[in-house]
Amino acid sequence: MVKVAIIFHSASGTTKKLAEAVASGIRSVSEVDVVFAEIVGTDIVDGRFKNLALIEQLKNVDAMVFGSPTFMGCVSAQFKAFADATGDLWAEKAWSNKIASGFTIGSNLSGDQLNTIQYMQIFANQHGMLWASLDIPGNCDAEGRNRLGAQSGLIAHSTDGELNTTDLVTANYLGQRVAKVAKKFAA
Ligand SMILES: Cc1cc2nc3c(=O)[nH]c(=O)nc-3n(C[C@H](O)[C@H](O)[C@H](O)COP(=O)(O)O)c2cc1C
């Protein structure tokens, strides 16, 4: 069975709604399992991410989808604490050749969310992972998915805590895509 993990942080719940949509997209692909991992405040002690069981579990997945709100133009501090805690795996190349992708949300239409996705991509590349883009050309999709037009990963937008339906449909698609790519690569 191919395993795809979603590792995300969400302070007020919007990123979590996207994570749930990504998870349902992954589950729609046969013979693929989801590891749903929310980074929470109690995982961080004295500024360091201490949920080492999660990091251990991630050694056994085929793909990871990273999720974080955009805070001050980048990932949240909680997500960064998780990323920093994987430093010991870096020299071991423990995540080399795993598939990766990412999603974020911000309350501005152009609120520097791309920097969040690009940080996730650099993080994945530091581990030797293979980044899966969002292969939906913005403005050229019959369903209007990827309405904000980022193809490095999913960028969503909300001003009131409610998720745009098209963003959720796009998140579902991203989950399906990563699951299919991971399955193909595992084969
Ligand atoms: C401290 C802080 C910084 C933020 N910085 C940005 C930002 O740089 N760009 C942006 O578009 N939105 C920014 N926002 C808005 C959040 O990204 C937005 O509310 C998001 O939906 C929160 O995700 P969550 O519900 O998963 O916590 C910021 C919000 C907070 C609280």
Query: Which structural domains are found in the chain, ordered by start?
Result: 2-186 (3.40.50.360)
What pLDDT, on a 0 to 100 scale, did the predictor assign at position 6? Answer: 98
User: Which ligand 1 atom is at minimum distance from the Cα of 156?
Assistant: 21
CB-based contact 186:11 (threshold 8 Å): no
Indicate yes or no: pTM above 0.95: yes
CA-nearest of 80, 84, 86, 115 to 98 is 86
Q: Which pLDDT band holds residue 95 (cuts at 50, 70, 90)?
A: very high
Backbone angles phi, psi at 162, to 5 degrees: -90, 140
Which residue's CA is minimally distant from atom 31 of ligand 1? 71
Tell me how far CA of residue 6 lies from CA of 83, 109, 141, 147, 164, in angstroms. 14, 24, 25, 22, 20
Per-residue model confidence as pLDDT tens digits over 142-175: 999 999 999 999 999 999 999 999 999 999 999 9
Per-residue model confidence as pLDDT tens digits over 4-34: 999 999 999 999 999 999 999 999 999 999 9
Q: Which residues line ligand 1 (CB under 6 A)?
A: 10-15, 69-73, 105-108, 111-113, 158
Handedness of CA 123, 13, 76, 115 (dihedral sign): positive
What pLDDT, on a 0 to 100 scale, did the predictor assign at position 5? Answer: 98
